[in-house]
Structure 1
Amino acid sequence: MIKSKLPTIISCSKAQDSVTWRLDIAADLDYFNGHFPEQPVLPGVTQLDWAIKLGCEHFGYPIDVATLEVLKFQQLMLPGSQVDLNVSHNAAKAKLTFAYSDGDKRFASGRIALNSEAAPFTNSTDSH
């Protein structure tokens, strides 16, 4: 797990088993340095780290990933963009499903299986 700083959160909307954050992918984020000089792109590992951090925090899980499932990176996430990160929760299977998008444009998606011992703490009082 990398120790990435979260991007600026513009807004957050919550439903029963899902949450969507609108994120500002600022051009000055350190993650663009050297990745790549000709056309900076946000590394997939950073996108994954943000989904894990935000999803686990919101749903009250400790960050304890067992496996990653159906991980897909469909389009490049470029500096200066805004994207939606949707994370849904399957409590019975201790899994989080995430997707980055902007309207009809899909950037990345996948499923995060948490270790079975990683039960949620309690109902989250998440401030995001």
Structure 2
Amino acid sequence: MIKSVLPQIISTHQQDDTITWRIVVDANLAFFKGHFPEQAVLPGVTQLDWAVKLGCQAFGYDANIASLEVLKFQQLLLPDSQVELSISHNKAKARLTFQYTNGDKRYASGRIVFRAALSGQ
């Protein structure tokens, strides 16, 4: 099992209920080992883990996830990439929407719904 490590953050920008981090996807991350031999690719589960961890830290959730919605991985995230991870908060629905982008390139996106939305808290 690989220990969860957050990416290197170059910059952070917040506007209203959205935070955008400019991150480096370092080629030396253990997540790349064996995923895949021909071309190293950052696993989707790692991208999701980063979105959950950074979103929970930024917006005060514990990681009590009810569901994942519209989860899409559009392009491969390769070693030594720089991308933006944007997370928008919808407090009324206890939901975070995230996307990994670089300019007009979209790598991954989805919604994370927390249990608080189901219990009416």
Q: Distance in 1 between matches of 2:38 and 2:5?
A: 24
**1:100 counterpart residue number:** 100
Cα distance, 1:118 vs. partner? 9.5
How large is the Cα RMSD of the aligned pairs?
1.5
Q: Distance in 1 between matches of 2:7 and 2:44?
A: 14
Q: Distance in 1 between matches of 2:96 and 2:3?
A: 19
Q: Which blocks of at least 5 consecutive residues in structure 2 are unaligned?
A: none
Q: Distance in 2 between matches of 1:4 and 1:48?
A: 11
For 1:45, what is the secondary structure of its paired residue?
A: helix
Task: Please report the TM-score for the alignment, with normalisation by the length of structure 2.
Answer: 0.93
Task: Please report the TM-score for the alignment, with normalisation by the length of structure 1.
Answer: 0.88
Cα distance, 1:31 vs. partner? 0.3
Count of residue pairs the alignment pairs up: 118
Identity, % of aligned positions: 63
Cα distance, 1:3 vs. partner? 5.1
Larger helix proportion of the pair: 2
Distance 1:10 1:86, change over 3 A: same
Cα distance, 1:16 vs. partner? 1.4
Name the amino acid aligned to 1:19: I
